[in-house]
Chains A and B, each alone.
Chain A
Amino acid sequence: MVTCLGDVFYPEVGEKIVRLLRRLGVVVTFPAGQTCCGLPLFNSGYHVAAAAVARRTVGLFREAERVVVPSGSCAWMVKHEYPGLLTDPLERAAAERLAARTHELSQFLVRDLGRQRFRSTVAGRLTYHDSCHLLRGLHEAESPRAILRGLAGAEFVELPGGDECCGFGGSFSVRLPEVSSAILDKKLASVEATGAGTVVACDAGCLMQIRGGLSRRGSRVRALHLAEVLEPLDGAP
């Protein structure tokens, strides 16, 4: 699943994931006609529309053995909200099957493929921002860190307050832009204080927010998706 932000704004992330997975021996398919998981609709209260989007997405991925998602928030939507949105018992059962087969990228790499040794595509110091949905929704703090800690060719440092929100929150960042930016300022200040040249995230929403703030400040720090810093380390488990 490429996700709307991944498709339209960050297609290079999707490309990197496809190539990475192939080199790890995964057969990658891409069901045509994907749009968005419907999380923005759901979070703003448009649940009838979100259910229609969920129904459509469940159908698109019916054949997939595993569904890998580059954003924790979209993975959360599919795994936690789809089944509740679909009230028809057959539809709900299909949504539950999809939920069980859906994985956020870092979780898929570490927990399903058992791969956590990679080579870094960027040199120097890296830090990691926990995306809220991945951390508190899917309870995943460890998989991305396992990968980043073991990354050959880079040095991983923890981000103080890394588990705090970046202030994106989808429509929140549009409805209360000043508050959203003030939250972001704190995040960027702590990123810059680590001395890292790269901040990694596993969510396109956080990346849009953090990258947007860094680029406006003219910061030398880059915000990258996990997939953008990974290269297979041949022969490593």
Chain B
Amino acid sequence: MSEPRLDTPLRERAGHALRDTFLQEALTIATTKFIGLRREAFAEFPDGEALRDRAREIKEATLQRLDHYLERLIDNVEGRGGHVHYATTADEARRIVLDIARRAGARMAVKSKSMATEEIHLNEALAAAGVTPVETDLGEYIIQLAHERPSHIIAPAIHKTKGQVAELFARELGRETEPDPEVLTRIARAELREKFLEADLGITGANFGVAETGTIVLVTNEGNGRMVTSLPRVHVAVMGVEKVIPSMSDLAVFLAILAKSATGQKLSVYTSLVDGPRRPGELEGPEEFHLVLLDNGRIGQLAGPLREALACLRCGACLNVCPVYRQIGGHAYGYTYPGPIGILLTAMLNGPESVKDLAHASSLCGACADACPVRIDIPKMLIELRRDVIERRIAPWPERILFGAFARLLQRPVLYWTAARFGRLLQRPLTRGGVIRRVPLFFGDWTRTRDLPPIAARTFQERWADLEREGGR
């Protein structure tokens, strides 16, 4: 599927996704599977609920003293011979990484799956600077071949069917094969093996940064993360500042719920603890280790309305359960982070105006908040973002007029009754067989697929006098 551009309205982007039968097939299969696996994983884990509470408490306590924990993390990474860089903006982060690549004389960089590097559009910057980025996570590898962007936080190629992947491999790699995931994986593995050995630079994100030890933690399933952090001469980890946690015992709490929420696994296949560069006497590891701490709008939310979103573990559980995401997939959202949490993160990174329409891409059903391992109240913040749009008066004027009129109606019963009576007259020519099949203007699109009930011949309030008499009998 081609990615809809941001200059088309959200509704069109969504419509495009709804008409994409491959996308619909892929999304339904994958999200349904994820939902079932997550449910089973927690059903077999009686401590799950308490650990979710604990994880949230740890996040809160860490955010309370974020400066302190970041300082400890920096001290400990540097103490182990690593270098730490601080990037206030995406642009700064890109420049830092490019600078490291230049000094290392890198021509190729292998990457482990990372949303933080997606967020700063690092691949484009690397390519422009003459460093070939190679994604080594299977899903990321697929979408890189297809010149696309991830459509899910943990399953970047979730929008593709295995048939589409087989076609892609045939076209891009010249390897004709059956759409068998095992065969496809073997092909990708063989292609990538060379790159690991060739690359001078390994780039990763970070699931956690442990302050007390200076350890960067990577949670992966394919083993590519381990290759990226140990084979190339230089390793760069790009980590959002909110990913710092105080201690190893805290890490245990998060690891107990992260994979269960994400894929329904008890633990991911690989949990890699990266402790800086290779030290004398060690056999493995890079010669240089760099940690890039990324702010990019996060620090501003420490005291902002989106603060709760800083607790996000990027597990993707809220995407899988979101009825909207399950229909339109990630690309229709138009930004790096899709789904319910993605709307909040987009607002955090690009400002609230960027989600003027996206804030409404939710029925507020609350499934996201329920699935979130750290219980982030996503619907509440979506409503806050909507409020922000209204209070800055940047909502479209027809909507403001409509809601303004509605608000007046609700405060004056006489107007409300008059409107009901007036509606009763207006609906007469539209009503057939007890339902309204088509209305003009704002609700016209509603009735394209659904009937509307007509305003009752007598409203409840008009019936009340009779009901009251009936009760007094």
Report whether A173 and B323 are in contact in the complex, using a CB–CB cutoff of 8 Å: no
Report whether A178 and B450 are in contact in the complex, using a CB–CB cutoff of 8 Å: no
Question: Taking the complex as formed, is B443 at the interface, i.e. its CB lies under 8 A from any CB of chain A?
Answer: yes
Q: How far is the CA of A34 from the CA of B445 in the complex (A)?
A: 29
Question: Taking the complex as formed, is B446 at the interface, i.e. its CB lies under 8 A from any CB of chain A?
Answer: yes
Note all chain B residues with C-beta closer than 8 A to A136: 365-367, 369-370
Report whether B451 and A176 are in contact in the complex, using a CB–CB cutoff of 8 Å: no
Note all chain B residues with C-beta closer than 8 A to A208: 452-453
- Nearest residue (CB) in B for A137 is B366
Q: How far is the CA of A44 from the CA of B442 in the complex (A)?
A: 15
Secondary structure call for the A interface: helix
Question: Taking the complex as formed, is B361 at the interface, i.e. its CB lies under 8 A from any CB of chain A?
Answer: yes
- Nearest residue (CB) in B for A6 is B460
Report whether B403 and A132 are in contact in the complex, using a CB–CB cutoff of 8 Å: no
Question: Taking the complex as formed, is A22 at the interface, i.e. its CB lies under 8 A from any CB of chain B?
Answer: yes
A71 to nearest B CB, angstroms? 13
Note all chain A residues with C-beta closer than 8 A to B14: 176, 178-179
Chain B positions 449 through 473: 1 when the CB is less than 8 Å from some CB of chain A, otherwise 0: 1111111101111111001101100
Report whether B365 and A15 are in contact in the complex, using a CB–CB cutoff of 8 Å: no
Report whether B383 and A43 are in contact in the complex, using a CB–CB cutoff of 8 Å: yes
Note all chain B residues with C-beta closer than 8 A to A216: 437, 449-451
Q: How far is the CA of A170 from the CA of B386 in the complex (A)?
A: 14
Report whether B410 and A41 are in contact in the complex, using a CB–CB cutoff of 8 Å: yes
Question: Taking the complex as formed, is B92 at the interface, i.e. its CB lies under 8 A from any CB of chain A?
Answer: no
Report whether B403 and A211 are in contact in the complex, using a CB–CB cutoff of 8 Å: no
Q: How far is the CA of A4 from the CA of B411 in the complex (A)?
A: 12
Among candidates B18, B386, B423, B463, residue contacting A179 with C-beta atoms closer than 8 Å: B18
Report whether B11 and A41 are in contact in the complex, using a CB–CB cutoff of 8 Å: no
Chain A positions 86 through 103: 1 when the CB is less than 8 Å from some CB of chain B, otherwise 0: 000000000000000000
Report whether B455 and A9 are in contact in the complex, using a CB–CB cutoff of 8 Å: yes
Report whether B453 and A9 are in contact in the complex, using a CB–CB cutoff of 8 Å: yes
Instruction: Say yes or no: A44-B369 contact (C-beta < 8 A), given A177-B446, A180-B363.
Output: no
Question: Taking the complex as formed, is B65 at the interface, i.e. its CB lies under 8 A from any CB of chain A?
Answer: no
Beta-carbon contacts under 8 Å, B262-314 to A: none
Which size class do B's interface residues fall under?
35 or more
Beta-carbon contacts under 8 Å, A160-205 to B: 163-165, 167-184
B403 to nearest A CB, angstroms? 5
Note all chain B residues with C-beta closer than 8 A to A46: 387, 390, 403, 407
A38 to nearest B CB, angstroms? 6
Note all chain B residues with C-beta closer than 8 A to A175: 11, 360
Interface hub of B383, B442, B449, B471 (most chain A Cβ within 10 A): B449
B468 to nearest A CB, angstroms? 7
Beta-carbon contacts under 8 Å, A34-71 to B: 34-36, 38, 40-47, 49, 52-53, 56
Among candidates B324, B385, B391, B460, residue contacting A14 with C-beta atoms closer than 8 Å: B460
Q: How far is the CA of A184 from the CA of B442 in the complex (A)?
A: 20
Question: Taking the complex as formed, is A237 at the interface, i.e. its CB lies under 8 A from any CB of chain B?
Answer: no
Q: How far is the CA of A181 from the CA of B450 in the complex (A)?
A: 8
Report whether A174 and B363 are in contact in the complex, using a CB–CB cutoff of 8 Å: no
Q: How far is the CA of A33 from the CA of B399 in the complex (A)?
A: 26
Question: Taking the complex as formed, is B147 at the interface, i.e. its CB lies under 8 A from any CB of chain A?
Answer: no
Note all chain B residues with C-beta closer than 8 A to A146: none
Question: Taking the complex as formed, is A212 at the interface, i.e. its CB lies under 8 A from any CB of chain B?
Answer: yes
Report whether A179 and B328 are in contact in the complex, using a CB–CB cutoff of 8 Å: yes
Question: Taking the complex as formed, is A147 at the interface, i.e. its CB lies under 8 A from any CB of chain B?
Answer: no
Report whether A182 and B327 are in contact in the complex, using a CB–CB cutoff of 8 Å: yes
Question: Taking the complex as formed, is B448 at the interface, i.e. its CB lies under 8 A from any CB of chain A?
Answer: yes
Chain A positions 2 through 25: 1 when the CB is less than 8 Å from some CB of chain B, otherwise 0: 101011111110110011001000
Question: Taking the complex as formed, is A28 at the interface, i.e. its CB lies under 8 A from any CB of chain B?
Answer: yes
- Nearest residue (CB) in A for B420 is A8
Report whether A212 and B450 are in contact in the complex, using a CB–CB cutoff of 8 Å: yes
Report whether B323 and A36 are in contact in the complex, using a CB–CB cutoff of 8 Å: no
Closest 6 A/B residue pairs (Cβ): A169-B363, A45-B386, A212-B450, A49-B407, A165-B365, A136-B366
Q: Identify the B interface with A (CB < 8 A).
A: 10-11, 14-15, 18, 323-324, 327-328, 360-367, 369-370, 383, 385-391, 395, 399, 403-404, 406-407, 409-411, 413, 416, 420, 423, 435, 437, 442-443, 445-446, 448-456, 458-464, 467-468, 470-471
Could you give 29 example pairs across A and B, Cβ below 8 Å?
A2-B460, A2-B461, A7-B460, A8-B456, A9-B456, A10-B453, A11-B463, A14-B460, A15-B460, A15-B467, A18-B471, A19-B470, A36-B410, A45-B391, A46-B390, A46-B403, A49-B404, A53-B411, A56-B410, A132-B367, A165-B363, A169-B364, A174-B442, A178-B18, A182-B327, A184-B449, A208-B453, A212-B435, A213-B449
Given A136-B369, A172-B364, 10 new contacts (CB under 8 A): A7-B459, A11-B456, A34-B413, A43-B364, A45-B385, A132-B363, A177-B448, A179-B361, A182-B18, A215-B451
